[in-house]
Structure 1
């Protein structure tokens, strides 16, 4: 214990002035200094091998390590210095608090950073319902309380109108996230600068992201949620959510090609490719987000940052609403309910894309960038000379 305290004081002296006292980055520096002296969790995930390359932890290091963390909770349940110990080491919570600051600090435009603090469940649902109500009023003005059944979405809202509504929102979200992650990438440089991103490093990081390598708790048994038991539930729900979203995105992309290149406008019936992709993606997305929401409400109270729960649940609610309303819209095609379900679905989709640059979606983009940096860094000699990747 005395040796651990001595090493912690020495590392703290090296990092003195690197981060603001009392800031979330300072807490990451404190717990990483303790972990660097202990090394019990070195094989759990990418955070700890990356930690062993550093004796001091500045702001850039804290942001980099926080985005490497997959919030699996294994280190918290294994730690002998976790609360109620006097050291109160809680790596998942410290990392979660810094991750949000990462997104806010690198946000573009800068004013968007403050939205991370206000983006919650109530805001997400209110925005989706507000946009849906606006579209429903447009339907009422056009066709009255009982519009005639339509064979196509475009009979209700013209194609050019939908493109005009969604293209600017999607373009801004992509631009904002792209600038933010570029700023993060430039800040989170490897220990030895000047090393290019190799094909091997890119392939390794992409593979780890696609299979969620670091949600296995380091032992392949899963991670923790509400107790000390290992579970793969979070990993599976994340997979259902991610791949369901990608299938829905693929359905939209294929439908766009059909419309502009082949001259085949919607609607598309089964077994057309857009419909197969969209229906399977919607079911996967609905199941995954329902599971993530249930697991999030049951998580151990020491996991993560309680202040971020509204933002987390808001993002999950928008994804779930998008999936369920899309499936309901497909089932109601040709019925009198279709115009109103279309308004609800479009409201959810527009709210989702409008909040992408200042919501939980950003964590996947930043995490991939951190994994890429780690894959580059681990291929260089360890400057500290302690530990191994």
Structure 2
């Protein structure tokens, strides 16, 4: 008699579903633990968007954790108000736990995926990109121009680098960076909001999210007094320096767009007069990009180690220093454009700008886009019925 072999066991629907649930890593489990404690306490519910969003959940999956982590602005108010922070045995530190997961978000959703590893050694990556870009433009200066005599240049940037060459080089790199960022944020959005689309957003959600992002609403600590930085004192300077940086960057971008219009639509070639729109916009933007990054760097150097993830500080500082280099070299080029130093300053400035463009998708710049996506999800979510009936907004 032949023995009857048991048929292979087929997993039931529940077992199959469990196999599809992503396993949380150490940092994600720590956020899950702390959010469960916070969900029972609710003292910080009015501080920022994180806690009202938290109250809509009893459990925190991987997508929820990354969404909440990017919703956090790391203002530090909840840490200094928390009765369960160290030395309490619960050791709750929401800003630090969220910051560690945010760093993973940038790497996990990066596109192409294998470039995500650049976040781990971002300081070295930025330094290498800067060195290569600077060397490239310095060599191109010598090759194209052949000499640095001021009489031949007379403030004409295109005597050093032809306009079409610059447009092709920077346009290609910027387009590639924009594509990489767009795909990364789209992947994050689809993961965090699988049932939510922008096709029919809740009324006013886009406006609310845009306003919160542009005004940095959640850097006020939930009470209008600002962030905690080095100690228990509140300061609004982190918010102000972020504004200088962001709007300085946007003014410089506007200057480039206007100059492009002058060139192609009006047939006017650089150099432009000091009181022209491109120069005025670029000057104001450059000043903003000096004041903002310099202030953020000073705050970063003094920030208490429990505020955020110290492992990410090299990435933060590399991005800040790169912005400073772009602005300082740009202002120096404007001031000395009619001197013998113009060609070399132009090469240095273009090298720093190229390094900035190359590193945009895989550095600190990405945090603004991920955070904006999280703010949009929060704005949509809060307009929907709270099925758990928990908390308030």
Instruction: Tell me if 1:209 matches 2:196.
Output: no
Q: Name the residue aligned to 2:266.
A: 262
Does structure 1 residue 327 correspond to structure 2 residue 331? Answer: yes
Secondary structure in structure 2 of the residue aligned to 1:20: coil
Corresponding residue to 2:95 among 75, 92, 95 = 92
The alignment status of 1:34 with 2:37, answered yes or no, reads: yes
Q: 1:320-369, CA deviations, whole angstroms, 9 ceiling, x for partnerless residues?
A: 11011000000111111111111111111000010111011111011111
1:341 aligned to 340, 345, 351, which one? 345
Q: Does 1:118 align with 2:121?
A: yes
CA contact (8 A) 2:69 2:102 kept: yes
Indicate whether 1:148 and 2:150 are aligned.
yes
Q: How many Å separate the matches in 1 of 2:59 and 2:94?
A: 16
Does the 8 Å CA contact 1:222/1:231 hold for their aligned counterparts? yes
1:118-197 paired onto structure 2 within 5 Å: 118-120=121-123, 122-143=124-145, 146-149=148-151, 150=153, 151-189=155-193, 196-197=200-201
Contact 1:318-1:348 at 8 Å conserved across structures:
yes
Whether the 8 Å contact between 2:206 and 2:376 is mirrored in structure 1 is yes
Out of 232, 235, 242, the residue aligned to residue 231 of structure 1 is 235
More displaced 10-residue stretch of structure 1: 155-164 or 46-55: 155-164
What SS does the corresponding residue of 2:241 show, helix, strand or coil?
helix
Identify the residue that residue 370 of structure 1 maps to in structure 2. Answer: 374
Taking the aligned partners of 2:188 and 2:280, their CA distance within structure 1 comes to: 37
User: Which secondary structure state, in structure 1, belongs to the residue aligned with residue 43 of structure 2?
Assistant: coil
Task: State yes or no: 1:359 paired with 2:355.
Answer: no
- Partner Cα separation in structure 2 for residue 319 and residue 205 of structure 1: 26
TM-score, scaled to structure 2: 0.91
1:20 Cα deviation from its structure 2 partner:
3.4
Alignment partner of 1:318 is 2:322: yes
Which residue of structure 1 lines up, in the alignment, with residue 285 of structure 2? Answer: 281
Compared CA separation, residues 17 and 307, structure 1 to 2 (3 A): farther
Return the alpha-carbon distance in structure 2 between the equivalents of residues 116 and 34 of structure 1: 30
Tell me which moved more, 18-27 or 349-358. 18-27
Distance 1:102 1:27, change over 3 A: same
Alpha-carbon offset, residue 269 of structure 1: 1.3
Mark the CA change 1:119 to 1:194 in structure 2 (over 3 Å): closer, same or farther: closer
Is the 2:145–2:159 Cα contact (8 Å) retained in structure 1? no
CA deviation vs aligned residue, 1:217-259 (integer Å, no higher than 9, x gap): 0001111100000100100000000000000000000001111
Q: Structure 1 unaligned runs (5+)?
A: 1-14
CA shift for structure 1 position 72: 0.4
SS at 1:133's partner residue? helix
The reply on whether 1:200 has 2:204 as its aligned counterpart is: yes
The 3 A distance-change label for structure 1 pair 191 and 131 is: closer
Say which SS state the counterpart of residue 262 (structure 1) adopts.
coil
SS in 1 for 2:389: coil
**In 2, are the aligned partners of 1:128 and 1:344 still within 8 Å (CA)?**
no
Q: 1:286 and 1:186 mapped to 2: Cα distance?
A: 36
Change (3 A) 1:193 1:274: closer
The structure-2 alpha-carbon separation of the partners of 1:226 and 1:341, relative to structure 1 and needing over 3 Å to count, comes to: same
1:102 and 2:105 equivalent?
yes
2:75 matched to which residue of 1? 72
Contact 1:325-1:344 at 8 Å conserved across structures: yes
Could you say what the CA RMSD is over the residues aligned between the two structures, in angstroms?
A: 2.0
Q: Which has the larger radius of gyration?
A: 2
Point out the more displaced range, 42-51 or 155-164.
Answer: 155-164
Q: Where does 1:281-300 land on structure 2 (aligned, <5 Å)?
A: 281-300=285-304
For the Cα contact (< 8 Å) 1:248–1:281, is it kept in 2? yes
Go from structure 1 to structure 2 and tell me whether the alpha carbon gap of 1:190 and 1:84 turns closer, same or farther (over 3 Å shift).
farther
Provide the C-alpha distance between the structure 2 equivalents of 1:190 and 1:374, rounded to a whole number of angstroms: 14
Aligned to 2:8: none
Deviation at 1:155, TM superposition (A): 0.5
Count of residue pairs the alignment pairs up: 374
Q: Distance in 2 between matches of 1:43 and 1:276?
A: 41
Deviation at 1:137, TM superposition (A): 2.2
Which consecutive unaligned segments of at least 5 residues does structure 2 have?
1-17
CA offset at residue 174 of structure 1? 0.4
The DSSP-based 3-state class of the residue aligned with 2:315 is helix
